[in-house]
Chain A
Amino acid sequence: MPFLQLANVRKLYPNAAAAAVENFSLDVEAGEFVSLLGPSGCGKTTTLRMIAGFETLTAGQIVMDGKAIEEMRPNQRNIGMVFQSYALFPNMTVADNIGFGLSVGGSAKAAIQQRVREMLALIKLEELGARYPYQLSGGQQQRVALARALAIRPKLLLLDEPLSALDAKIRVALRNDIRAIQRKLGITTLYVTHDQEEALSLSDRVVVMNHGLIEQVGNPFEIYNFPRTTYVAQFVGTLNLLDAVVVEPTAGSVQIQGQPAHTTSLAGCSQGEQIRLALRPELLALKSTGQADENRLAGVVETIAFLGAVVRIQVRVGEALLALDEFNNPQLAVPAVGSPVFVYFARSSCLKLL
């Protein structure tokens, strides 16, 4: 039995035309780190708030640790929550913030102090217990908020875009710390973000959401390499989308912009069918010759952009524009804009999308 189980959860806000969350079913195992990923307004926060108890469900069930929790009040669920805006109590010191939950729960003073010390050590801010929130940086405030949520030994940890108010460097450092702490404590965690890199780098599994619906659930490897829908493929990383016509389904042969090519994912297609193929830029290469079973498309270089570690080259193939990435190095022979080139890619790297 999974630790947290959401079954057909639906949320329709009063006076809203469409449901914010629809038919949401998800099983989370104990100790798992699961991210909800999706664009603004897709219902990530709403889902999290229903689990925390701040929103009621229109339909469906939520079971945590074998108990239905959707009727429980938020202060009885024992779920830790970390907010985007930190939400530290401005009138309390760092130590009092961290100890608040225990003190509300009636723990003894000595036990609270002990736990606060443990938590401060966990977030590596031992020195700052006596400070007030306004005397801390954003990153430090969010660490304290994490410690405060964890101090009560919650059954579940919810984080709603905890890093989006921070600048890029701290974001990466803190997200690694969050993951390390989560692993150390083994706490089941749901993490909301609209940043695909964050979701892929942190999570055991990623839930990609779109307009309140789950598009795909999978581990980061599956989500990135085998997106099931155009939506997921486009949302997670850069992607080339190519229209193609099926020539011979059993042989896997297709036509892309009038040029022959092959793919390994034509199951269930019929001859002459219009399909859509996805290609990751990093799986394409500019070469003069390639292996016999590689696909080859002829095109013309349209733009070249240096992105640091990689060089992104856009090649026009008929009506389509293909982006491809080459790792940057001083010996790299970058073709001139306007020159004719061949783009090579493996048959298996070309995915058919739903």
Chain B
Amino acid sequence: MRRINWFAWLWFTLGALYFVLPLWGTLIFSLQKRRGVLSLDAYSAALGDPRFVETFVFSNFMAICTILASLLLIVPTAYWVHLHLPRWRPVVEFVSLLPFVIPAIVLVFGFIKLYSKPIVLLGIPLFPSLTTSNLSTNLLLIAGYTVLSLPYMYRAVDNGLRAMDVGTLTEAAQSLGAGWWTILWRVILPNLRTALLSGALLTFAIVVGELTIATFLARPAFGPYLALLGNHRAYEPAALAIVSFLLTWVAMGLIDRVTRGTRDVVAGSH
């Protein structure tokens, strides 16, 4: 018994060191902007940069738009597949995983190639060039982010739908006079709350740090700013890395809180 415990602790410690040491190193390094003493100079410099605030706000706004767009796209789709096309579930699942296989760089070049010129089909102009104005380029950016978030969002929604009896709940609501939108809005969505929150937070994390698509669409996003900063400064990127770690942890804590609060409801409903 003792030896097994000892080994377990050894591996645990090794694993912990593997994760903690680089983080610790980064933290110490980020505190050494002023020679010889530990200080928060790097943090105040990084956070005080107006470009930081600007790009951070922009990326957060894009993240919110992305979450809304992917919810609008995925929730009705996944619901419909669950309800009427259960045999197509593996296919849809496969499609949702494609962003893992297709690099973001391919996606963004595809976007630029397709949408930088006005699209004309059989002589009818469908829509103008989307890369010429900031607004329309932002739409492209959101579209790209939505694709990137697809695996996480779809999985989260799919899991949420699996955890409830979608078919019977739908029929119960129908027999009480509800139409599709009422059912989606008042029955399905509220029961997906937990799933949606974790999907949304993951999407948030991805979008805020995303580099490739934002760079090639030339939008003032946080990812490119971080990369740029890394090329010119030493201490500030370390400080921002620590800050983003903290943000991630806060997000994970939030997921945990939210899921723990509602787990009883879901489990108890069966």
Contact = CB atoms under 8 A, between A and B. Distances in A.
Contacts of B182: 104
Interface string B90-113: 000000000000000000000000
Given A54-B171, A81-B172, A133-B269, A91 B178 contact: no
A105 interface: yes
A270 B117 CA distance: 92
B176 A152 contact: yes
B171 A81 contact: yes
Contacts of B268: 90, 132-135
A83 B176 contact: no
Contact of B175 (A81, A89, A91): A81
Contacts of B173: 89, 100, 104
B190 to A, nearest CB: 4
Interface stretch (B43-51, B162-170, B209-217, B249-257): B162-170
A134 B262 CA distance: 11
A132 B190 CA distance: 14
Nearest to A96: B186
A85 interface: yes
Interface residues of B, number: 25
A104 to B, nearest CB: 5
A87 B165 contact: yes
Interface in B137-184: 164-165, 168-169, 171-179, 182
Interface stretch (A32-40, A72-80, A310-318, A330-338): A72-80
Given A90-B191, A90-B266, A134-B265, A104 B164 contact: no
Contacts of A54: 171, 174
B258 interface: no
Contacts of B176: 75, 80, 100-101, 104, 148-149, 152
B187 interface: yes
Given A87-B168, A91-B190, A91-B191, A132 B175 contact: no
Contacts of B171: 52, 54, 74, 81, 83, 87
A76 B179 CA distance: 9
Nearest to A99: B176
A87 B169 contact: yes
A341 to B, nearest CB: 53
B175 A79 contact: yes
Interface residues of A, number: 32
B178 A134 contact: no
A351 B182 CA distance: 56
B267 interface: yes
Contact of B169 (A53, A80, A89, A104): A89
B266 A75 contact: no
A105 B186 CA distance: 14
Contact of A104 (B165, B178, B191, B264): B178
Contact of A89 (B174, B187, B267): B187
Name the 6 nearest CB pairs between A and B, nearest first.
Answer: A134-B268, A101-B176, A90-B269, A91-B190, A81-B175, A87-B172
Interface of A: 52-54, 73-81, 83, 85, 87-92, 100-101, 104-105, 132-135, 145, 148-149, 152
23 contacts: A53-B174, A74-B175, A75-B174, A75-B176, A75-B179, A83-B168, A87-B165, A88-B172, A89-B172, A89-B187, A90-B191, A90-B266, A91-B190, A91-B265, A92-B190, A100-B173, A100-B178, A101-B176, A104-B182, A133-B268, A134-B264, A152-B176, A152-B177
Given A78-B177, A89-B172, 18 more contacts: A52-B171, A74-B174, A75-B177, A81-B171, A87-B171, A88-B172, A89-B169, A89-B191, A90-B269, A91-B191, A91-B193, A101-B177, A134-B265, A145-B172, A148-B172, A148-B176, A149-B175, A149-B176
